[in-house]
Structure 1
Amino acid sequence: MVLPNMVTVLSICVGLSGIRFAFEGRFATAVVMVLFAAFLDGIDGRLARMMKATSRFGAQMDSLADIVNFGVAPALVLYAFLLDRAGSFGWIAALLFAVACGLRLARFNVLDEDAERPPWQGEYFVGVPAPAGAVLVMLPCYLAFIGVYQADRVSALVASGFSVLSAFLMVSRIPVYSGKKLKIRRDLALPLILAVALLVLLFFNYPWHTLSVGVVGYLIFLPFSVLAYAKRSTIEEAKLAEVAVTPSVPSDEPGQEL
């Protein structure tokens, strides 16, 4: 049980180090550290399940690390980079994002323990998940690194508004498809592997461009996820209604009443 918890602690150290680099003015390194912390935080749970080393202590540690890596670290890095130019409004936006991340994680833990929730709803997140929110809120950093805009008060105000929007998306009840139970047809396996390899190569060669396009694509994906959820909900409700109105067929076996 030690190794997954060590990865969790390492992710916290990496996330907090990202804040330090931001305060030192090394913003590109700070963003990379936050993204790496999010990656480590995402694999510790999977590592624990693979090693059959899950524990209540590890679950609590993971939740605390999530707040640091997905809420506090991105908010402070973005504030040091740009939001401070917006004055108090920038600080309020950073605080709202960190608080929204905490609320989002608390709701996720509650829903994860809800035994009455229909199984098909487990294929969707309620609101944008915290890791995606952390990558989402730092879009102003990515765009600045590729020279889309210059950091000034106007861009800081726009980034503050975007941070508030990201916070709202996390605490909203927008259904977001998780892809956990996505099944890939065998004939699409090799093209998918090639596409993933291409994405990794693009990320390592053009990280900020790739992240910017990825964030925009994710925002475009959200309305389609809502429509897919509504369609699936209609189908599931129709199935339940059909079961409810289907009369029971009497048995003709001996010894039973007709």
Structure 2
Amino acid sequence: MEPLFPPFEPEPQPPQRRFRPVPLRLLIPNMITLAALAAGLTAVRFAIEGRLEAAALAILGAAILDGLDGRIARLLKGTSRFGAELDSLADFVSFGCAPALILYFWQLQALKTAGWLACLLFAFAMALRLARFNVTLDAPERPAWQKAYAVGVPAPAGAMMAILPVNLSLAGLPQFFGESVLILVWLILTTALTISRLPTFSGKGLKTPVPRESVIPILAACLVIPALVVSHPFETVSLLTLVYAALVPVAVHRYRNQAAIATQTPAEPGAEDAPTTSNPLTNR
């Protein structure tokens, strides 16, 4: 008599996939990027609650963290395509959506549809700029002198330019009639500079050797500027933003001069055939 439940051999199970552990040096830059994203989202919350000072400081904190994550990633040799994509997504929220919403809740909602459309245009321009930057990650390596320039106003600088009226108001600039219209015009101008192809100064140009006579002034600025930001944040940030905006025509002029010199200088023999060892993801 056969047993009611005959024994059988179990089917072989496929081997489980084991994920390799992720080095800590790859996680640290992404954690900083997420902290910048949290600062941008928190700025929106502060704007909704009417806490304008906290919102402006949160955007400033997001810009500082955004400037650190890429440099720390290169220092730790932790650059990755994942980090570059995450950085762009965080930048869109912190520097595209958050500044526009701060301005809308503060002044532009008085202009109703016109104010909202200006905020939408700024966010759209920031998204298009970041998408254009992601495309350039796979583009051929640029000449060394071009790395000192960005195409258009970078995302953190564009955000600080957008909320310049907020910082000026917090610095003590009195309000006046028609201020919301002027803020609308300034936001549209900032949007145009963000999406433009004008060359602007980039922090990547600081890798060049520093002349000896400039070492002491640079060290002094590195001490004085952070101290002023801590003691008088809105006045200092407003002044730095105005200086950056004034340097845009200077960057265009210098770029054109260097481009003219580069076109007149013959290329070194064999330079086109030389293999490139640089990683485009270092422009994270």
- Could you tell me how far 1:147 is from its partner in structure 2? 2.8
3-state DSSP class of the match of 1:176?
strand
- 5+ residue gaps in structure 1? 244-258
Whole-angstrom distance in 2 between the partners of 1:69 and 1:151? 29
2:253 to 208, 211, 227: 227
Matches within 5 A, 1:96-135: 96-115=121-140, 117-135=142-160
Structure 2 residue aligned with 1:40: 65
Deviations 1:207-250 (A, max 9, x none): 1111221122112111111110111111111114999xxxxxxx
Structure 2 residue aligned with 1:249: none
The AA in structure 1 aligned to 2:227 is: L
Structure 1 residue aligned with 2:186: 162
Structure 1 residue aligned with 2:244: 218
- Could you tell me how far 1:173 is from its partner in structure 2? 1.1
> Contact (CA 8 Å) 2:152, 2:194: kept in 1 or not?
yes
Whole-angstrom distance in 1 between the partners of 2:163 and 2:80? 32
> Contact (CA 8 Å) 1:142, 1:208: kept in 2 or not?
yes
When Rg is computed on C-alpha atoms for both structures, the one with the higher figure is: 2
The AA in structure 2 aligned to 1:175 is: P
Matches within 5 A, 1:239-250: 239-240=265-266
- Could you tell me how far 1:151 is from its partner in structure 2? 6.6
- 5+ residue gaps in structure 2? 1-25, 270-284
3-state DSSP class of the match of 2:230?
helix
3-state DSSP class of the match of 1:181?
helix
1:203 to 225, 229, 235: 229
Structure 1 residue aligned with 2:220: 194
Whole-angstrom distance in 2 between the partners of 1:70 and 1:46? 19
> Contact (CA 8 Å) 1:100, 1:170: kept in 2 or not?
yes
Structure 2 residue aligned with 1:177: 201
> Contact (CA 8 Å) 1:82, 1:151: kept in 2 or not?
no
User: Could you tell me the percent identity over the aligned residues?
Assistant: 43
3-state DSSP class of the match of 2:210?
coil
Q: Calculate the aligned-residue CA RMSD, in Å.
A: 1.9
Whole-angstrom distance in 2 between the partners of 1:179 and 1:30? 25
3-state DSSP class of the match of 2:205?
coil
Whole-angstrom distance in 1 between the partners of 2:45 and 2:127? 22
Aligned residues: 242
- Could you tell me how far 1:191 is from its partner in structure 2? 2.2
> Contact (CA 8 Å) 2:165, 2:183: kept in 1 or not?
yes
3-state DSSP class of the match of 2:150?
strand
Whole-angstrom distance in 1 between the partners of 2:183 and 2:119? 10
Whole-angstrom distance in 2 between the partners of 1:48 and 1:180? 14
> Contact (CA 8 Å) 1:144, 1:151: kept in 2 or not?
no
3-state DSSP class of the match of 1:28?
helix
Whose helix proportion is higher, 1 or 2?
1
What is the TM-score with the length of structure 2 in the denominator? 0.80
> Contact (CA 8 Å) 2:147, 2:205: kept in 1 or not?
no
